[in-house]
C-alpha cells in the first residue's frame, strides 16, 4: 500500500501523436481556474520523478518506443491515464496505417478518460480516480505489454535499462523500417 | 546561541525550511488567485518520495546527493553554533561542488548543463555572501554571528545597500525567477536534480529546505537579533521573492551575470562610501 | 658559526655538489644520489626552521664577492651570446644594456660593512618550500624523464639541473645584498631558459627565448633599482632598506616591484609562464609551484613594510587584483590542463602579491601561507599532470571524462590538489581566509574596498574553475563503473616513484591542514613579525591547542577536522560504496534510446578578455612606475 503517493502525485504528460486538443485541456487543469496543484499535483517533466503518466494521442508508430521507454523509467508505484478518445482506442484514427490504436496496446492503462477533447473536469475526475488505484499499488515491478526487453540483476542492483525493447525486434521481416531509430 | 537552543534548532532546520517552502508555494498560488497546495505539501512530497521504488543511475551519483545534504546540514549547524561565517560560506561552497560533480557524472545533457549553470550561479551569489560577511565584519568587528546579534545597531540600518545586494543574490541562491537558470524546469527540467529519483530526490528536497534556512539565517543576521525587525525582514523578503518569482520571466545566464554583478558591485561600493563618510563625520 | 648558519651554508653548497655527482653517474647512482640529496636537503631545511628563532648574518671576503661579480658578467655574456646565436635582438640588447649598467654600478657600490647574507625566519620557511617541494619534484623527475626519448646522459643532465636549481633558489633567499639578489635572479632566468628549452624542439626553443627576454626585463629593472639606490641612498641591502625611516624615494622600490611582477608572470608578462608548459612537466612543477615564481611574492614580502599604505602599494594591489580575476577567467576558457594550471598559478601569484602589498601583518601572513601551501598543492597538481601525460597519454580537459573510473588514485590527487587551494581546512584556504580577514587590520574602509572586492570575486572564479575540472574528471560515468567480474574498484597501476611523490605531497597537505594552527602561530606569524621588525606584545593570532584563535573569531579544531573529513574522505568513500536493492535506469533523454555525448562545460569569456588585457595591464605597469615617482 502506498499511502503518501495519493497526496503528492506528480504528473508526467506525454503527447503520443495528439492533435494538441487534450494537451491544452491538461494545461488548463494546471492553470488558476482548475488549479490541480491544490491536490499536491505537480507537472514534472521527468519520468523518474513522476507517479502518474498522462498520455494523449493514439500512439503513432513514431511514438510507441518513447511511450514504453518513459513508462519503464517511472518508478513504481505508478499509474497510467489515457486522456482522450485517441489515447483510449485510437479514436478517429483507429485502424490507420500509422497508429497503434490506443495506449493499452503497449502499456497497461489504469484509467481511461474519453472525450474529444476531454474536459478539464473529466481529467481532474480521472486523476482523482487514479489516485485510488495508486493507493492500492505497491513497489512491485510493472511491465509493458509489448516491447518488453530483459531485466538483469547484478550484485543486488536491478538493471532495467534494457526493459524497454526496441521496435526492430517487434517488426522483424517488416519492410517499413521508417520507425526504427 | 547556547547549545540548548542550537541543537534542537539544527535538528529542526529541515522542518523549518520545509514549512517555508510550503508557505512559499501557497503564497505564490494565492498571488495567481489559485488555492494552491496545503501548507504541509513539501513534507507529503518527501514521504511520497521515500516510499517509491529506488531508481539510481549509478551509486556514486546517488550518494553524492546524500553528501550534498550532509555538508549543507553541517554548514547550517556551524552557523547555529556561532562559527566563523566565512567557514560557513566555504562549507556551503563544498556542498555546491558535490552537487556539481554529481551533475557532471551522468550521461545526461540536462544534468551536465544544470551543473555548469550551477557553477555560473555560484559565481553570482557566493561573492555576495562573502562581501556581506566582510561588510558585517567591518561594522561589528567579528566574524561570528553572536557578536552581530548582540549589537545595539542592527545591520539593516548600517548596511542597507549590502542588504539590497544580498536581495539581488537571493533569487539566484533559491532558484527563483528571474534567476532560476540552474533549475529552469521548462528548459532543462530541473538541471542537476533530473537524474535523482525516490529517496535521493527526497534528499535533494531536504537540501532545498536547508538552503531556505541558510538564506533566512543570513537575513536574520541583518536584524541584529531584534525579533520584531527579523519578522518584518522575513515577511518582506518572503513576499517580495514570491512576487518577483511570479512576475518575471527567466533570463539567460549571461544576462544574469550582466545584471547582477555590476549592481552588486555598485551597491557594495555605495555602502562603503556612505560608511566612510559617516566615520569621517563622527 | 652557529647551526642555522651551518644549515644554510650546507643548503647553498650541497645541491651543486650533488648535481655534479648526478651528472656524472649512471642510472642506479642517479636514483640513489637524488634520493640522498632530496632527503638530506629536506632534513637540513627542517633543522634550519627549528633553529630559526634568531637570524644569522655573515659576509664573504672581498675576493668572494669579486668572484660572484665575475659570475654575474659570465651569465650576462652567456645571455648576449644566446641573443646573437638565436638572432634575437631583444635578448642581445637587454643583456648588453645590463652589462653596461652593471659595469657602471659595480664601481660605485657601497660596502658599508653590512652583512651580505642574512637568514631569517622567512628565508628558512623558503628553504622548507624550495627543498621540500622541489626535492619531491626532482625525485618525481627521475621516473618521468625515463619516459622521454632522450639519452642516459641527458636524463642525468635533467635531474642534475633540477637539483642545481634548488641551490640557486637557496642562494636567492639567503642573500641580503641586492646586487647578489640580482645575480641569483639572473641565474634563475638562465636555469629556466635551459629547462624550458630542454626538449630542444622548435617550440621549446621559442618559448625558452620568450622566458629569457621577459625575465631579463625583471633583471633590468632590478639593476635600475640598484643604480638609484646606490646614487641616492648609498645602500644596497634589504636589511638597511627596511630600517629606513620617514620619507624616502619609492622609485627604486617601484622598480623592484616591477621585477617581482615580471618574475611572477603578471599579465602582460604571463607569456613566459604559459610558454613554459611545453617543457617536461617536472620543470613546470618546479618552476611554477615551489621555486621560481615564488621569487615574486618573496620579494614583495621583503618590500611590503616599505610600501604599505603608499600609492605604490595601491597601484600594485590594483594590477595584481585585475590579474587575479582575469587569469581566472582566462583559465576557464582554456582546454589544456597544464595551461589551466599555469593560468591559475598566475592568478594566485597575483593574490599573493596583492596580499603582500597590503602590508598589514594579517595580509602578509596570508601571503606567506598562500605562498607555502600553494607551492605544495600546485606541485601535486603538476605531478598529476605529468602522470596523466606519461601513463594515460592525456593532456586536455576534454579527454578527462570518466578518468575517475580507470585512474581513481590520480583523480583523488587532482581533487585534493584543487580542494586544498579552494576549500577549508587546507593551508592555502586559510591564506585566502586571512586575506579576507585583512578587514580587521584597521585600514580605511575605502582602501579596503578594492582588495575585498577582488578577493571575493576572484576566489569564486578560481573555485568554479577547479570545480569544473573536478566535475569533468567524473564526467559521464557508466552505471557499472566497477568491472563486471570483480567486486572491487580497479586501481590503476602507477610506478612507485609517482605514487610515492603523490602520497608524500598529499601527506604534507594533510598534516599541514590538521596542524594549521601551530604552524600559523609558531612559524608564519613570527616570520611576518620579524619582517615588520615589530615586537608586538599581544599576538593577533594564537594557537589554542589545534584551534586558530584570532581576536575577533576562532576556527575550532573540530571544524578543521570536520572539514578535513568531509572534503578528503567522504567523496572517495562514497565512490567505493555500492548501493544494493536499487534499480539502475537509463538517464533521461526525452524517451529516446541513445545516451548523450554532448560536452557542456566550456566558457568563452576568456577570448573577449584576451583582446583587452594587454593594453590595460601595460598601462597599469606604467601607473606603478608613476606612483613610484610620486612617492618621492
pLDDT digits (tens, 9 = 90+) for B105-137: 888 888 888 888 888 888 889 899 988 888 888
Q: Which residue has the cell 608586538?
A: C536
| Cβ neighbours of residue B4 closer than 8 Å, sequence gap 6 or more | none
Q: How far is C484 from chain A (nearest CA, A)?
A: 9
Given B101, B144, B189, which is nearest C471 (Cβ)? B101
Backbone φ/ψ region at C127: left (φ over 0), alpha (ψ -120 to 50), beta = alpha
Residue A131: its H or E element: helix A120-136
The parent domain of residue A77 ranges over 5-142
Interchain contact, A40 vs B44, CB within 8 Å: yes
Q: B8 CA to chain C: closest CA distance, Å?
A: 20
A60 DSSP 8-state letter = B
B33: number of Cβ within 10 Å: 10
Residue C29 confidence (pLDDT): 85
Determine the pLDDT at residue C488: 59
Helix (H, G, I), strand (E, B) or coil at A53: strand
Q: Mean of the pLDDT values across residues A137-165?
A: 81
pLDDT at site C149: 79
- Residues of chain C contacting residue B269, judged by C-beta atoms under 8 Å apart: 449, 453
According to DSSP, residue A99 is labeled B
Local structure of A149: helix, strand or coil = coil
Q: Quick check: A69 and C580 CB within 8 A?
A: no
Measured between CA atoms, the residue of chain B closest to residue A41 is B37
Q: For residue B194, give the nearest of C459, C559, C588 by CB distance.
A: C588
Say if the Cβ atoms of C585 and A155 lie within 8 Å: no
User: What residue ranges do the domains of chain C occupy?
Assistant: 1-57+115-176, 307-601
Please tell me the predicted confidence (pLDDT) of residue C5.
83
- State the CATH number of the domain containing residue A49: 3.40.50.12280
Grid cell for residue C248:
624616502
Nearest CA in chain A to C488: A155
For residue B206, is pLDDT > 90? yes
Residue C567 to residue B106, Cβ atoms within 8 A: no
Looking at residues A12-36, what average pLDDT do you find?
88
Size of chain B in residues? 282
Q: Does A159 touch chain B (CB under 8 A)?
A: no
| B56, B101, B275: residue with CB nearest C584 | B56
Contacts of A79 in chain B (CB under 8 A): none
pLDDT score recorded for residue A162 = 80
How distant, in Å, are the alpha carbons of B98, B105, C375, C400 from that of C406?
20, 14, 28, 11
Give me the pLDDT at residue A180, please.
Answer: 39
Average pLDDT of span A2-7: 76
What pLDDT was estimated at residue C598? 67
- Using the Cβ of B134 and the Cβ atoms of chain A, whether some distance falls under 8 Å is answered with no
Q: How many CB pairs under 8 A join A and B?
A: 79
Q: pLDDT at position C111, please?
A: 65
Within 19-78 of A, beta carbons closer than 8 Å to C belong to 46-48, 65-67, 69-70, 72-73, 75
Instruction: Over range A89-115, report the average pLDDT.
Output: 88
Provide the domain count of chain A.
Answer: 1
C592 touches chain A (CB under 8 A): yes
Nearest to A75 among B52, B186, B194 (CB): B52
Residue C580 CA from chain centroid, whole number:
46
HEC letters along C50-107: HCCCCCEEECCCHHHHHHHHHHHHHHHHHHHHHHHHCCCHHHHHHHHHHHHHHHHHHC
Give the ipTM of the model, two decimals please: 0.90
Residue B98 has pLDDT above 80, yes or no: yes
List of chain C residues with pLDDT < 70: 1, 110-112, 243-248, 439-443, 479-489, 534-538, 595-602, 604-611, 631-632
C590 touches chain A (CB under 8 A): yes
Work out whether strand A52-56 and strand C547-550 pair parallel, antiparallel, or are unpaired. Answer: unpaired
Q: How confident is the model at residue A177 (pLDDT cuts 50, 70, 90)?
A: very low
Q: Where are the beta strands (DSSP E) in B14-150?
A: 55-56
| Closest CB from C449, C552, C556 relative to B272 | C449
Helices (H), C229-310: 238-242, 251-263, 271-275, 281-285, 295-307
- Read off the pLDDT of each residue in A1-27 and give the average, rounded to a whole number: 85
How many structural domains comprise chain B? 1
Is residue C154 within 8 angstroms of chain A, CB to CB? no
Of the CA atoms within 13 Å of residue A153, those in its CB half-sphere come to 4
What is residue C142's predicted lDDT score, i.e. its pLDDT?
Answer: 86
The C-alpha cell at C407 is 585512474
Quote the CA–CA distance of C209 and C214 in Å, as a whole number.
8
- pLDDT (tens digit, 9 = 90+) per residue, C85-104? 888 888 888 888 888 888 88
Has residue A23 got a pLDDT over 60? yes
pLDDT of residue B235: 92
A172 is a domain residue: no
Give the one of B34, B36, B55 whose C-beta lies nearest to A75's C-beta.
B55
Residues of C in contact with A161 (CB under 8 A): 479, 584-586
Rounded Cα distance, C268 and C265, in Å: 8
**Predicted pLDDT at B204:** 92
The answer to whether B238 contacts chain C (CB < 8 Å) is: no
Range of the domain at B27: 3-281
* CA dihedral sign, ordered B51, B56, B62, B65: negative
pTM, 2 dp: 0.90
Cβ of B137 within 8 Å of Cβ of C552? The answer is yes
Q: Which of A4, A9, A77 sits opposite B47 (nearest CB)?
A: A4
Over residues C416-441, the pLDDT tens digits come to 999 998 888 888 888 888 888 776 66
Of all residues in chain A, the one with the smallest CA distance to C591 is A66
Lowest mean pLDDT among A41-50, B69-78, B148-157: B148-157
Residue B67's pLDDT is 92
Amino acid at each position: 500500500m502506498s499511502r503518501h503517493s495519493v497526496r503528492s502525485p506528480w504528473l508526467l504528460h506525454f503527447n503520443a501523436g495528439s492533435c494538441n486538443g487534450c494537451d491544452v485541456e491538461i494545461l488548463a487543469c494546471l492553470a488558476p481556474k482548475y488549479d490541480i496543484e491544490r491536490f499536491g499535483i505537480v507537472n514534472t517533466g521527468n519520468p523518474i520523478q513522476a507517479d502518474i503518466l498522462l498520455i494523449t494521442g493514439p500512439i503513432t508508430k513514431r511514438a510507441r518506443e518513447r511511450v514504453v521507454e518513459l513508462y519503464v523509467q517511472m518508478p513504481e508505484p505508478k499509474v497510467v491515464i489515457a486522456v482522450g478518445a485517441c489515447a483510449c482506442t485510437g479514436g478517429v484514427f483507429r485502424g490507420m496505417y500509422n497508429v497503434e490504436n490506443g495506449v493499452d496496446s503497449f502499456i497497461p492503462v489504469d484509467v481511461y478518460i474519453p472525450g474529444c477533447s476531454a474536459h478539464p473536469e473529466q481529467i481532474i475526475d480521472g486523476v482523482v480516480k487514479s489516485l485510488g488505484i495508486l493507493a492500492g499499488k505497491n513497489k512491485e515491478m510493472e511491465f509493458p505489454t509489448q516491447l518488453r526487453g530483459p531485466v538483469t540483476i547484478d550484485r543486488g542492483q536491478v538493471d532495467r535499462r534494457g526493459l524497454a525493447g526496441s521496435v526492430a525486434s517487434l517488426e522483424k521481416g517488416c519492410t517499413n523500417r521508417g520507425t526504427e531509430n | 546561541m547556547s547549545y540548548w537552543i542550537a541543537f534542537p534548532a539544527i535538528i529542526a532546520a529541515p522542518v523549518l525550511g520545509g514549512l517555508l517552502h510550503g508557505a512559499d508555494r501557497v503564497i505564490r498560488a494565492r498571488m495567481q488567485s489559485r488555492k494552491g497546495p496545503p501548507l504541509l505539501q513539501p513534507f507529503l512530497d518527501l514521504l511520497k518520495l521515500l516510499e517509491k521504488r529506488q531508481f539510481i543511475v549509478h551509486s556514486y551519483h546517488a550518494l553524492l546527493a546524500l553528501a550534498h545534504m550532509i555538508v549543507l546540514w553541517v554548514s547550517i549547524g556551524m552557523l547555529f553554533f556561532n562559527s566563523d561565517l566565512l567557514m560557513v560560506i566555504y562549507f556551503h561552497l563544498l556542498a555546491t561542488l558535490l552537487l556539481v560533480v554529481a551533475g557532471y557524472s551522468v550521461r545526461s545533457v540536462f544534468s551536465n548543463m544544470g551543473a555548469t549553470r550551477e557553477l555560473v550561479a555560484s559565481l553570482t551569489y557566493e561573492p555576495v555572501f562573502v562581501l556581506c560577511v566582510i561588510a558585517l565584519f567591518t561594522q561589528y568587528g567579528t566574524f561570528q554571528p553572536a557578536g552581530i546579534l548582540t549589537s545595539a545597531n542592527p545591520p539593516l540600518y548600517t548596511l542597507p545597500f549590502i542588504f539590497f545586494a544580498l536581495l539581488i543574490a537571493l533569487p539566484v541562491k533559491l532558484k527563483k525567477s528571474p534567476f532560476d537558470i540552474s533549475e529552469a524546469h521548462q528548459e532543462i527540467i530541473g538541471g542537476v536534480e533530473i537524474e535523482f529519483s525516490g529517496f535521493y530526490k527526497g534528499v535533494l528536497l531536504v537540501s532545498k529546505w536547508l538552503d531556505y534556512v541558510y538564506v533566512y539565517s543570513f537575513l536574520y543576521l541583518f536584524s541584529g537579533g531584534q525579533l520584531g525587525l527579523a519578522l518584518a525582514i522575513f515577511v518582506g523578503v518572503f513576499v517580495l521573492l514570491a512576487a518577483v518569482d511570479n512576475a518575471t520571466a527567466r533570463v539567460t545566464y549571461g544576462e544574469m551575470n550582466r545584471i547582477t554583478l555590476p549592481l552588486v558591485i555598485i551597491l557594495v561600493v555605495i555602502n562603503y562610501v556612505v560608511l566612510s563618510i559617516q566615520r569621517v563625520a563622527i | 658559526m652557529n647551526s642555522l648558519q651551518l644549515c644554510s651554508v650546507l643548503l647553498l653548497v650541497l645541491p651543486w655538489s650533488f648535481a655534479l655527482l648526478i651528472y656524472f653517474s649512471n642510472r642506479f647512482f642517479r636514483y640513489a644520489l637524488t634520493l640522498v640529496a632530496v632527503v638530506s636537503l629536506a632534513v637540513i631545511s627542517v633543522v634550519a626552521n627549528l633553529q630559526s628563532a634568531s637570524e644569522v648574518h655573515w659576509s664573504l671576503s672581498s675576493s668572494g664577492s669579486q668572484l660572484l661579480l665575475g659570475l654575474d658578467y659570465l651569465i650576462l655574456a652567456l645571455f648576449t651570446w644566446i641573443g646573437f646565436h638565436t638572432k634575437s635582438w631583444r635578448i642581445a640588447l637587454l643583456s648588453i644594456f645590463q652589462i653596461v649598467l652593471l659595469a657602471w654600478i659595480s664601481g660605485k657600490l657601497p660596502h658599508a660593512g653590512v652583512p651580505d647574507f642574512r637568514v631569517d625566519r622567512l628565508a628558512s620557511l623558503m628553504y622548507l618550500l624550495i627543498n621540500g617541494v622541489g626535492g619531491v619534484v626532482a625525485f618525481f623527475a627521475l621516473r618521468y624523464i625515463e619516459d622521454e626519448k632522450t639519452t642516459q646522459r641527458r636524463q642525468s643532465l635533467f635531474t642534475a639541473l633540477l637539483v642545481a636549481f634548488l641551490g640557486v633558489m637557496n642562494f636567492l633567499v639567503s642573500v641580503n645584498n641586492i646586487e647578489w639578489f640580482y645575480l641569483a635572479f639572473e641565474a634563475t632566468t638562465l636555469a629556466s631558459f635551459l629547462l624550458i628549452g630542454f626538449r630542444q624542439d622548435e617550440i621549446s626553443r621559442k618559448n625558452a627565448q620568450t622566458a629569457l627576454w621577459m625575465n631579463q626585463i625583471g633583471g633590468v629593472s632590478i639593476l635600475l633599482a640598484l643604480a638609484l639606490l646606490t646614487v641616492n641612498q648609498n645602500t644596497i641591502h634589504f636589511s638597511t632598506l627596511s630600517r629606513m625611516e620617514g620619507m624616502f624615494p619609492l622609485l627604486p622600490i617601484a622598480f623592484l616591484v616591477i621585477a617581482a611582477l615580471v618574475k611572477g608572470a603578471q599579465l602582460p608578462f604571463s607569456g613566459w609562464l604559459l610558454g613554459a608548459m611545453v617543457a617536461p612537466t617536472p620543470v613546470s612543477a618546479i618552476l611554477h609551484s615551489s621555486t621560481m615564481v615564488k621569487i615574486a611574492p618573496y620579494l614583495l614580502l621583503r618590500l611590503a613594510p616599505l610600501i604599505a599604505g603608499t600609492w605604490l602599494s595601491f597601484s600594485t594591489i590594483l594590477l595584481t587584483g585585475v590579474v587575479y580575476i582575469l587569469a581566472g577567467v582566462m583559465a576557464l576558457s582554456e582546454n589544456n590542463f597544464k595551461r589551466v594550471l599555469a593560468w591559475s598559478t598566475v592568478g594566485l601569484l597575483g593574490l599573493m602579491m596583492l596580499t603582500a602589498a597590503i602590508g598589514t601583518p594579517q595580509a602578509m601572513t596570508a601571503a606567506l601561507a598562500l605562498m607555502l601551501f600553494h607551492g605544495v598543492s600546485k606541485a601535486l597538481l603538476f605531478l598529476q599532470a605529468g602522470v596523466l601525460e606519461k601513463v594515460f597519454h592525456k593532456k586536455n580537459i576534454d579527454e578527462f571524462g570518466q578518468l575517475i573510473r580507470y585512474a581513481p588514485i590520480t583523480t583523488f590527487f587532482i581533487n585534493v590538489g584543487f580542494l586544498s587551494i579552494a576549500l577549508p581546512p587546507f593551508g592555502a584556504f586559510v591564506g585566502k581566509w586571512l586575506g579576507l580577514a585583512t578587514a580587521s587590520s584597521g585600514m580605511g574602509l575605502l582602501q579596503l574596498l578594492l582588495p575585498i572586492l577582488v578577493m571575493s570575486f576572484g576566489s569564486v572564479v578560481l573555485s568554479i574553475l577547479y570545480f569544473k575540472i573536478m566535475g569533468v574528471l567524473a564526467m559521464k560515468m557508466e552505471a557499472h563503473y566497477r568491472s563486471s567480474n570483480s567486486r572491487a574498484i580497479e586501481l590503476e597501476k602507477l610506478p612507485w616513484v609517482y605514487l610515492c611523490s603523490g602520497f608524500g605531497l598529499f601527506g604534507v597537505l594533510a598534516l599541514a591542514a590538521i596542524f594549521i594552527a601551530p604552524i600559523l602561530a609558531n612559524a608564519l606569524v613570527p616570520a611576518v613579525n620579524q619582517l615588520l621588525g615589530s615586537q608586538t606584545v599581544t599576538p593577533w593570532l594564537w594557537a589554542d591547542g589545534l584551534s586558530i584563535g584570532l581576536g575577533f573569531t576562532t576556527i575550532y579544531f573540530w571544524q578543521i577536522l570536520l572539514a578535513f573529513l568531509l572534503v578528503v574522505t567522504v567523496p572517495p568513500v562514497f565512490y567505493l560504496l555500492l548501493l544494493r536493492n536499487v534499480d539502475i535506469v537509463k538517464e533521461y533523454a526525452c524517451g529516446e534510446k541513445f545516451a548523450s555525448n554532448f560536452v557542456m562545460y566550456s566558457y568563452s569569456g576568456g577570448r573577449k578578455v584576451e583582446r583587452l588585457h594587454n593594453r590595460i595591464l601595460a598601462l597599469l605597469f606604467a601607473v606603478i612606475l608613476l606612483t613610484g615617482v610620486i612617492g618621492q
